[in-house]
Amino acid sequence: MDKNVVKTVGAREVALKILYRTEKEGSFPNLLLSNDLKTLQNPADRALASNFVYGVLKNKLALDHIISKFSKIKLNKLSLWVLNILRIGVFQLLYMDKIPIYAACNESVTLAKRYANKGAVGFVNGVLRAVARDGDKVEFPDRAKNLTEYLSVFYSHPRWIVEKLLNKYGAEVCEEILKTNNSVPNLFIRANLLKTNTSELQEILISDGIDTEIDSEIPCCLKVLSNFGDVVKAKAFTDGLFTVQDRSSTFAGQALEPQPGDVVLDMCAAPGGKTTHLAELMKNTGEIIACDIHEHKLKLISDAARRLGVGIIETNLLDGTELRADFIEKFDKILIDAPCSGLGVLHKKPDIRYAMPRNGSAEEDITELVECQAKLLDNAAKYLKSGGVMVYSTCTILKEENSEQIARFLERHGDFEKLYETQIFTHETGGSGFYICKLRRQASLHQSRD
């Protein structure tokens, strides 16, 4: 067997275990990768394992459709180990250019010997050999007869997502969104302007072999062009010169425009990317109360602040849907980065597309999120000083969580006005899908309608 092939078996095995746990246990693949990639010494193997995991997750429905055409056993009758071995194998055969057929098939057989019974070994080999011969001839659902089914299977998005996007944005935009969700995401970092600037940071990173490109639209943002996996290992990261943050996400802080000396509330702050950005915009002067419902996540905020040299953030355990009496009319600025369906980050977190429905239907899940968001907005409205400003943001592209949510809020709160609103799409900007709305509580005695 080719020595190079032997070296990559580890990458396939790591990917297989992660895919199994992601589906079986509902684990987060990004966290599993962060831990399990440490077992692979070769950077090329680490990159390959990551490629397998995200490649399979992004194309899972299409892969299953292809496998079903060559398998005499129904997919729901296969063990999850065998199914994922086949998915990894088919992904290599049909979606990757540089993997030889013999490597994809032989190493899948090796995995089957370790993770399945003897009968499965011949089955895996037979299916993959057939896919290697005729996989490119597989027909997908007829686009003309059933557009939803075609888009769902071909781009591997559950039907409910496709239906939502078709309904809200039409066929052309829907397909662009789905296509972009399956592409390789860009990686962005935010320069810590308390310690450096983008030009200086760019030069420092070059010495670590990391090439970047300064974003012409966002003064603190750089797009990483090489050595993506080494970014958080760079000395500049340890020294607090930058943080990893998507370009779209930085617009939330910029829209809020916190000033030095402001008293600011970040209602859903973890893991702290936006919180620390607010502190940097405030030149580390003033006060930020950073809240989250999960106590263990508050440590992430504190750790990030410490690394970046930020000293004005106070973490606070808080369920934002419950009114806090001592917060009423206390804050100059408020950021509500609300929990949402996450459909704007499917290019980075493909597992999200399979996470719903959690309880009942996806529609019920969305309704629950919308109700939570409304409570956060209503409480924030009470916490804001007269004349104060708040920003509502989400990483989704569903209108009921975004523009329609704000329209309902303004109907309930006559003393608020909308200053700014934008919906960001990945296929248009390269950053994550994001919604940002800036609102101001008018300096008047009008009371909100509860």
> Tell me, what DSSP letter sits at residue 143?
T
- How far apart CA 276 and CA 252 sit, in angstroms, is 12
SS (H, E, C) 384-403: EEEEEEEEEEECCCCHHHCH
Phi, psi of 191 (to 5 degrees): -65, 140
- How far apart CA 450 and CA 448 sit, in angstroms, is 6
Cα 260 to Cα 173, 190, 286, 337, 409, distances in angstroms: 41, 19, 6, 21, 29
Identified catalytic residue from 221, 291, 395, 437: 395
Residue 31's CB: how many other CB atoms inside 10 A?
Answer: 11
- Straight-line distance from the first to the last Cα atom of the chain, in angstroms, rounded to the nearest whole number: 71
User: What is the side-by-side strand order in the sheet with 187-191?
Assistant: 212-214, 221-224, 187-191, 242-244
Judging by DSSP bridges, how do beta strands 331-337 and 384-394 pair with one another?
Answer: parallel
Contacts of 232 by beta carbon, 8 Å cutoff, 6+ apart? 244
395 included as an active-site residue: yes
Q: In what helix (H) or strand (E) does residue 202 lie, and over which residues does it extend? A: helix 198-206
SS (H, E, C) 363-382: HHHHHHHHHHHHHHHHHHHH
Amino acid in position 244: V
- How far apart CA 86 and CA 68 sit, in angstroms, is 11
Q: Residue 14: exposed, middle, or buried by beta-carbon count in 10 A (0-12, 13-18, 19+)?
A: buried
> Tell me, what DSSP letter sits at residue 228?
G
* C-alpha dihedral (13, 19, 24, 25), degrees to nearest 10: 100
SS (H, E, C) 149-173: HHHHHHCCCCHHHHHHHHHHHHHHH
Contact 293, 349 (CB under 8 A): no
Contact 142, 150 (CB under 8 A): yes
> Tell me, what DSSP letter sits at residue 442?
-
Residue 337's CB: how many other CB atoms inside 10 A?
Answer: 24
Q: Number of C-alpha atoms within 13 angstroms, CB side, residue 338?
A: 32
Q: Which residues pair with 314 in a beta bridge?
A: 289
Q: What residues are annotated to the active site?
A: 395
